[in-house]
A and B are shown apart, each in its own frame.
Chain A
Amino acid sequence: MSLLEVKNLQVHYGGIEALKGISFEVNEGEIVTLIGANGAGKSTTLRSICGLVQKSGGEIVYQGKPITNLATQKTVEQGIVLVPEGRRVFPNLTVLENLKIGAYLRKDDAGIQEDIKHVYGFFPRLEERHWQMAGTLSGGEQQMLAVGRALMARPKLIMMDEPSLGLAPLVVRDIFSIITRINSEGVTVLLIEQNANAALRIAHRGYVLETGNIAMSNTGHALLNDDRVRQAYLGKSEK
C-alpha cells in the first residue's frame, strides 16, 4: 500500500508555475528519491506536502486520507517530518534543546527521553556536544542534528531536502549510510538530492523532475544506469 500519494500536484508562486501537475507515490518502508536540476521544483514538492506552501491544484493522499490543505502542525502530528534544506538548526539553542523542540507536539515525556537516547545512538557526536549551542557545530554535525531533530517527532515519513548540501564527501557518505539505517528501522524516506549518484545508489525508486514535470521514473538502480540520467545528472558521457 502506498503511504503517500501525490496526484497531479500544481503549485504557483505568483505567476510562475513551479509544479505543473506532478504525480508520484511513496510506498511504506521505501527510500524514494526525487532528482533534478536547480529550479526543477524538488523543494517545492516537499514543502507543499508538509503544508508550508499553498497549492493551486491536485491532491495529496497520506495513509489513504487527503492531506492536501492541512496546516503544518497537523501533518507533523500525523508523522510527516521535513529536514529542511541548509540544515536550519536553531543556532542559539543547545543541541539538547534542538532535539527537544523536534518533539514539540509530543506529550509523552518518557518516550521523548527514550528517543533522545535513540538519536544519541545514531549520532554519538551529538551526545558529546549536547550542551553546546547548535550554531557552534560544524556543518556535518549540524546536518546530523537536523536529522536527529526530525527523528524526535517519531516520523513515519521523513522528507530530506538536500542533506548533502555543502558537506565534505566523507561526511556525505556518513549521512547517506545513516539514511539507510533510519530506513531499515521502518521509517519511509523521501529524499531530494542534487547528488544524484549517491541518492540513486541507496534509493529503492527514483523520479526525475524537469521544470515542474516528472520526466522519468524507475528503480534507483535502473535510473543509475540510464543513459539520459547519466548524461544529464551524473556527468558521465554516453558509452
Chain B
Amino acid sequence: MEKNKTRFRGIASGLTKNKRRNLLLSMIAIIALTVFLHFTEQGATVGSYEVRVLNLCAVYAVLALSMNLINGFTGQFSLGTAGFMAIGAYTTSLLIMPVSVKAKVFYLEPIVPWLENVHWEGNFGLFGALLVAGLITAVAAFIIGFPVLRLKGDYLAIATLGFSEIIRIVFTNTQSVTNGSTGIKSIPNTANIWWTFGVMAFFVVFMLRLMKTSYGRAFKCIRDDEVAAESMGISLFKHKMLSFVISGFMAGVGGGLMASVLGAITPLLFRFILAYDILLIVVLGGMGSITGSIVGAFLITTAKEWLRWLDAGFNIGPIKVPQIAGLRMVVFSALLMLVILFYRRGLFGNKEFSWDGMFRLIKNAPKRVAAWFKPKPKGGGAK
C-alpha cells in the first residue's frame, strides 16, 4: 500500500500542476461513474425503465462512434450502419439463445440444424457472441467495401444504403436462419449496464488511441483533402477500407448489444431510418468528435424518451392541448433545428472534451455572457 502510494507520487511528480489536476479529476470521474453503475445495477438509483434507457444510450454511443469513424473522421459518407447492425444483432441472438427457446421461436419453419444446438451461455457466451458478430460484420464490410469504396460522396451514400437494404431483405427471406419477418424474440438479456457501458468505454479508448496513430492521422488527411493525401503517399483505398471494416466491426458489436438489451428483433427494426437516427447523433454531436458522439447519443436518446409526455396531452395554464400522436417528434425536430442553427458544426465540432478546455470555458463564461448583452457595432466591423 505504502509502496504504491510512493510510486504514484513518483509518477505524479513528473507531471505539471495542471496535468496532475486533470489526472485526479479523471480518476474521480471514473470512480463516480463506476459507483453509479454499481448501484444502478443493484437497482438502487433508478427504475428499470431508466436503466433500459441508459443501456440504449450507451449502445447508441457505440453505434455513433462506428458511424463517426467512417463519416466524421475518414470523410466517407456511408449509411450502411443499419445493415451491419442487423448482421451483428442476428449473429449474437442466434448464438446466445437457449436451445429450447429457439425451438419455440422458430415455429413456422424449424431452424437450420447447424444452428439448432448452439447455445453460448452467460457472460462468456455473450463475449464470444459479440466478438463473432463483430468479426462477421467486419468480413461483410470488407466484401461490400470493394465495390462501394471506389465511389465518393452522395454516390457512396446511395450504394451503402442499397447494400444495407439488401442485407435486410435477405434476412427477411432466410426463414430457417433468421425466422424471417416474424423476427426473433426472447433473446436473453445478458447485456446489463456493465456490458453496455463497458463496451462503450472500450471503444472510446480504442478510438482515442487510434486517432493518435499514423492510421488515424491518415484517415483525417483523406477527409480533409484526398488529392494531397494521395500525393503524400497515403493509399486511399487501403485506408478507406480499414476505416470501413473497423466501423463495420463496431456496428456489428453495437447491433449485438442492442439485440440483447431489447430482447426482440425483427428485420423491420433495421430499416434505413435507423441509420438516420445514428447519423443525427453524429451530426448533432459533431462530425469527427468522439466526445460529440457520446454526448449526442445520450442527449438524443434521453430527449426522445423524456418528450413522451407531449404525446399524452397536457395543459399550458388554461389552454388544453389534446392528445396528439407524434407531437413529440414535431417538438423534437424543432429543438434539433434550433441546435443546428446555433451550432452549425454540431455541439463539439471536431473538438474533444478536456479538463483544460472546461476550465477555460468556465473562466471565459462571464465575458461571453456579457458580450451577448453588449450592443453590436454597426456594419459588422472589420473582419
| A24 in contact (CB, < 8 A) | no
B228 touches A88 (CB 8 A): yes
A104-B230 contact, Cβ under 8 Å, with A73-B235, A90-B221: no
Residue of A nearest to B349 (CB): A92
Contact of A84 among B214, B217, B228 (CB under 8 A): B228
Residue of B nearest to A102 (CB): B232
Q: For A130, list chain B residues within 8 Å (CB).
A: none
Q: For A75, list chain B residues within 8 Å (CB).
A: 233
- Complex Cα spacing A71 to B235, Å: 9
Residue of B nearest to A87 (CB): B228
| A72 in contact (CB, < 8 A) | yes
CB proximity of B183 to chain A, nearest CB, Å: 42
Q: For A92, list chain B residues within 8 Å (CB).
A: 220, 223-224, 288, 350
Q: For B64, list chain A residues within 8 Å (CB).
A: none
A91 touches B230 (CB 8 A): no
| Interface set, chain B 225-252, CB cutoff 8 A to A | 225, 227-235
- Complex Cα spacing A75 to B231, Å: 9
A88 touches B350 (CB 8 A): no
Residue of A nearest to B235 (CB): A73
Contact of B217 among A71, A88, A89, A100 (CB under 8 A): A100
- Complex Cα spacing A90 to B75, Å: 13
CB proximity of B76 to chain A, nearest CB, Å: 15
- Complex Cα spacing A72 to B233, Å: 6
What does the 1/0 interface line of A143-180 toward B look like (CB < 8 Å)? 00000010001000000000000000000000000000
CB proximity of A17 to chain B, nearest CB, Å: 23
B227 touches A84 (CB 8 A): yes
B233 touches A77 (CB 8 A): yes
Contact of A93 among B221, B234, B235 (CB under 8 A): B221
| A76 in contact (CB, < 8 A) | yes
| Total of A-B residue pairs, C-beta within 8 Å | 65
B231 touches A72 (CB 8 A): yes
- The interface on chain A, measured as residues whose beta carbon lies within 8 A of the other chain's beta carbons, has a size of 25
| A216 in contact (CB, < 8 A) | no
A76-B220 contact, Cβ under 8 Å, with A88-B227, A92-B288, A92-B350: no
| Interface set, chain A 50-79, CB cutoff 8 A to B | 50, 52, 71-73, 75-77
Q: For A91, list chain B residues within 8 Å (CB).
A: 224-225
Q: For A137, list chain B residues within 8 Å (CB).
A: none
- Complex Cα spacing A153 to B231, Å: 11
| B67 in contact (CB, < 8 A) | no
| B218 in contact (CB, < 8 A) | yes
- Complex Cα spacing A92 to B349, Å: 11
Q: For B221, list chain A residues within 8 Å (CB).
A: 90, 93, 101
What does the 1/0 interface line of B286-300 toward A look like (CB < 8 Å)? 001000000000000
CB proximity of B112 to chain A, nearest CB, Å: 45
B217 touches A101 (CB 8 A): yes
Q: Which of B214, B217, B232, B350 has the most CB of A within 10 A?
A: B232
Contact of B230 among A72, A77, A102, A153 (CB under 8 A): A72
B233 touches A104 (CB 8 A): yes
A104-B234 contact, Cβ under 8 Å, with A92-B288, A93-B217, A97-B217: yes
- Complex Cα spacing A90 to B227, Å: 11
A88 touches B214 (CB 8 A): no
Q: For B220, list chain A residues within 8 Å (CB).
A: 90, 92-93, 97
Q: For A100, list chain B residues within 8 Å (CB).
A: 214, 217
A90 touches B224 (CB 8 A): yes
Q: For B224, list chain A residues within 8 Å (CB).
A: 90-93
What does the 1/0 interface line of A119-153 toward B look like (CB < 8 Å)? 00000000000000000000000000000010001
Residue of A nearest to B228 (CB): A88
- Complex Cα spacing A82 to B231, Å: 6
Q: For B230, list chain A residues within 8 Å (CB).
A: 52, 72
Q: For A101, list chain B residues within 8 Å (CB).
A: 214, 217-218, 221, 229, 232, 234
**Other A-B pairs, 11, CB within 8 Å; known A75-B233, A97-B217, A153-B232:** A52-B230, A73-B234, A77-B233, A90-B228, A91-B224, A92-B288, A93-B217, A93-B220, A93-B221, A101-B229, A101-B234
For the complex of A and B, list the 4 residue pairs with the smallest distance between their C-beta atoms, beginning with the closest: A76-B233, A88-B228, A90-B224, A73-B233
30 contacts between A and B (CB under 8 A): A72-B230, A72-B231, A73-B233, A76-B232, A77-B233, A81-B231, A82-B231, A84-B227, A88-B225, A88-B228, A89-B225, A90-B220, A90-B221, A90-B229, A92-B220, A92-B288, A92-B350, A93-B217, A93-B220, A93-B224, A100-B214, A100-B217, A101-B218, A101-B221, A101-B229, A102-B232, A104-B214, A104-B233, A105-B233, A153-B233
